[in-house]
Amino acid sequence: MTVLDPAHTMTPQTYMQQLSRWRALEIAFWLATLLPFWLFPTYLSLASQIAITALFALSLDLILGYAGIVSLGHAAFFGLGAYSAGIFTKFVWGEPFSGLLVAALVAGVVGYASSFIISRFRHLTLIMITLGLGLLLHEAANSASWLTGGSDGLQGVSIQPVFGVFKFDLYGYTAYGYALGILFLCFLFTRHLINSPFGLALRGIRENFTRMPAIGADSRAHIRKVYTISAIIAGIAGGILAQTTETVALEVLSFERSADVLVMLVLGGAGRLYGGLIGAAVFLIARDQFSGINPQYWYFWIGVLLVVVVMLLPNGILGGLSKLTARWRRT
């Protein structure tokens, strides 16, 4: 997080401008996301699943990193998006963007409705209510197997080419391009959002929920808004997964998915825009490599990775790194 340096006072406008300026490292990051197309074409499928998970983590970062809402049930929106896109594709038509729109809409409506509940609670209660609502949805999807396919998964999802031209191919060129493109657009939106006065207000809520109304910012209204936006983005991420894999299974709504994305975000560094992106990439690549070497006990090494990161780099990889660079600059 950028902290105001009292030695260099500036107008709010210049502060906001400075916040939203693109740095060289950021541009390099996004250019690097294009590398798999040429360097690792056989890893594109993994790359697109990383992009989808990164988008999901970004959506969680909005509420957790910026508004301080810890959710253990965020997979609810991911899953809603996935099922909406999947069912829409199966029964209406297979054009991808309209499918994503439906996913965003359904997740957004449910997110908005549940935001009235969410905004009333804090701390453990909030975590458990999000968890409970998520698990209820998971059970509902299992029960409604006539619609969702239940535990066998939704079958018969057949997606049309993107823009009517780019067919989803075996290698995953289209899938990765599609997922990356949507991730980038959502990222631009999020970046803009958190560098706006609204974003500042959210950080204020995170730091002190009760004091914000005193300076004229209605904490609950802000929380409802950001929760809805976060639900929409999570829904889009789920929608992309359904479309690129042409199936939806109950695990999109599972507790494991909620917990995994939380772990990835915290691993990368919550409240840092790129935290979820880095966390998702590190976690999924580590998992892929470890399980390639040792299919039976790879999670031992994932566990070690998490413990080592916490012990050496508090506040996640990005948090730890920025602390290290700050120390390095000082000396």
Partner 1 sequence: MLPPVFGVLFDGIAYGMLLFLLSVGMSVTLGLMNFVNLAHCAFGMIGAYVAVMLMKDFNWNFFATLPFAFLSAALVSVVVERTLYRKLYRATDLDQVLLTIGLAFISVAAAAWFFGTTQQPVAMPSYMRGSINFLGLNIGIYRMFLVAVGIVVTILLVMTLEHTRFGAQVRAAVDNQRMARGLGIDVDRTFAVTFALGSGLAGLGGALAIEIVGLDPHFAFIYLVYVLIVVSVGGLGSIAGSFAAACLIGISDIAGKYYVPELGGFLIYLVMVAVLMWKPAGLFGKRS
Partner 2 sequence: MRSMLYASAAALALACVSTAQAQDTVKIGVILPYSGQFADGAKQMDAGIKLYMKLNGDTVAGKKIEIIRKDVAGPQPPVAKRLAQELVVRDNVDILAGFLLTPNAMAAADISAEAKKFMVIMNAATSIITTKSNYSVRTSFTLPQVSATLGSWAVKNGVKKAYTMVSDYGPGHDAETSFQGAIKASGGEVVGSVRMAVANPDFSAYVQRAKDLNPESIFVFIPGGSQPAAIGKAFAERGVDVSKTKIMGTGELTDDSALANMGDNALGVITAWTYDHNHKSALNEKFVAEYRKDNNGENPNFFVAGGYDGMHLIYEALKKTAGKTDGEALVNAAKGMKWESPRGPMMIDPETRDVVQTIYIRKVEKVGGKLVNVEFDKVENVKDPVKAAMKNN
Give residues in contact with partner 2 (CB under 8 A): 42-43, 45-46, 49, 139, 142-143, 145, 149-153, 155, 161, 165-167, 169-174, 241, 245-247, 249-251, 256, 291-292, 295-299
Q: Is residue 144 part of the contact set for partner 1 (CB under 8 A)?
A: no
* Residue in the structure block whose two tokens are 């499928």: 45
Cα–Cα distance, 45 to 3 (Å, whole number) = 39
Least distance to partner 1, CB of residue 150, Å: 12
111 contacts 273 by C-beta, under 8 angstroms: no
- Across the chain, the runs of DSSP E, i.e. the strands, are none
Q: Is residue 141 part of the contact set for partner 1 (CB under 8 A)?
A: no
Report what 122 binds from partner 1, partner 2, none; CB cut-off 5-8 Å by kind. Answer: partner 1
Q: Please tell me whether residue 166 adopts helix, strand or coil conformation.
A: strand
Q: How far apart are the first and last CA of the chain?
A: 21
**For residues 44 and 266, which CB has a smaller minimum distance to partner 1 in the complex?**
266
Q: Is residue 315 part of the contact set for partner 1 (CB under 8 A)?
A: yes
Least distance to partner 1, CB of residue 249, Å: 17
Looking only at residues 100 through 129 of this chain, which bind partner 1 when binding is defined by CB under 8 A? 117, 120-125, 127-129
**For residues 12 and 292, which CB has a smaller minimum distance to partner 2 in the complex?**
292
Report what 131 binds from partner 1, partner 2, none; CB cut-off 5-8 Å by kind. Answer: partner 1
205 contacts 51 by C-beta, under 8 angstroms: no
Q: Which of 34, 40, 92, 132 binds partner 1 (CB under 8 A)?
A: 132
Least distance to partner 1, CB of residue 207, Å: 13
Least distance to partner 2, CB of residue 295, Å: 4
Looking only at residues 285 through 314 of this chain, which bind partner 1 when binding is defined by CB under 8 A? 296-297, 299-300, 302-307, 309-311, 314
Distances (CA, A) of 93 to 164, 229, 235, 248: 13, 26, 18, 16
Six token digits for residue 241:
């997964």
Cα–Cα distance, 213 to 220 (Å, whole number) = 9
92 contacts 154 by C-beta, under 8 angstroms: no
Report what 302 binds from partner 1, partner 2, none; CB cut-off 5-8 Å by kind. Answer: partner 1
Q: Is residue 317 part of the contact set for partner 1 (CB under 8 A)?
A: no
Least distance to partner 1, CB of residue 324, Å: 16
162 DSSP β-pair partners: 166
CB neighbour list of residue 73: distance below 8 Å, 6 or more residues apart: 129, 130, 131, 132, 133, 134, 135, 255, 258
Least distance to partner 1, CB of residue 140, Å: 8
154 DSSP β-pair partners: 248
Report what 6 binds from partner 1, partner 2, none; CB cut-off 5-8 Å by kind. Answer: none
Radius of gyration, CA atoms only, the chain: 20
Least distance to partner 1, CB of residue 323, Å: 13
Secondary structure of 122-149 as H, E, C letters: CHHHHHHHHHHHHHHHHHHHHHCHHHHC
* Residue in the structure block whose two tokens are 């997080």: 1
Binding site for partner 1 (CB under 8 A): 70, 117, 120-125, 127-129, 131-133, 135-136, 139-140, 142-143, 255, 259, 262-263, 266-267, 270, 296-297, 299-300, 302-307, 309-311, 314-316
